[in-house]
Amino acid sequence: MKKKIVDDWKTKYVRALADYQNLEKRTWNEKEESRRFAIQIFLERLLPVVDTFERATKHINDQGLTLAQKELEAVLAEFGVTKIKTAGREFNPHEMECIEVTTGEENKVVEELQSGYKLHEKILRVAKVKVGTEV
What pLDDT is stored for residue 6 in this prediction? 87
Tally Cβ neighbours within 10 Å of residue 6. Answer: 10
pTM attached to this predicted model: 0.75
pLDDT at 112: 95
Structural domain boundaries enclosing 19: 1-79
Residues 73 and 106 in one domain: no
**Is residue 90 a contact partner of residue 103, using CB atoms and an 8 Å limit?**
no
In a shared domain, residues 68 and 91? no
Using one digit for the tens of pLDDT, what is the confidence trace for 78-87?
Answer: 999 999 999 9
Q: What is the CATH number of the domain that holds 72?
A: 3.90.20
What value, to the nearest 5°, has the Cα angle with vertex 22 and ends 17 and 26? 150
* 74 lies in the same domain as 85: no
Q: For residue 116, what pLDDT is reported?
A: 97
Query: What pLDDT is attached to residue 128?
Result: 97
pLDDT of residue 71: 94
Compute the distance between CA of residue 99 and CA of residue 45 in angstroms, rounded to an integer.
22
pLDDT in tens, 43-64: 999 999 999 999 999 899 899 9
Q: Quote the number of domains for the chain.
A: 2
CA atoms of 106 and 111, how far apart (whole Å): 13
Among the three residues 33, 64, 79, which one is the final residue of a domain in this structure?
79
Q: Is the pLDDT of residue 2 over 90?
A: no
One domain, residues 96 and 132:
yes
Q: What's the pLDDT band for 4 if we cut at 50, 70, 90?
A: confident
pLDDT value, residue 121: 87
Confidence class of residue 95 from pLDDT cuts 50, 70 and 90? very high
Whose CA is closest to 95, among 116, 113, 111, 119? Answer: 116
Task: Please report the pLDDT score of residue 85 as a whole number.
Answer: 96
- Which of 33, 62, 79 finishes a domain? 79
Band (pLDDT 50/70/90 cuts) for residue 134 is: confident
Same domain for 63 and 5: yes
- CATH number for the domain spanning 107: value is 2.30.22.10
Domain co-membership, 87 together with 104: yes
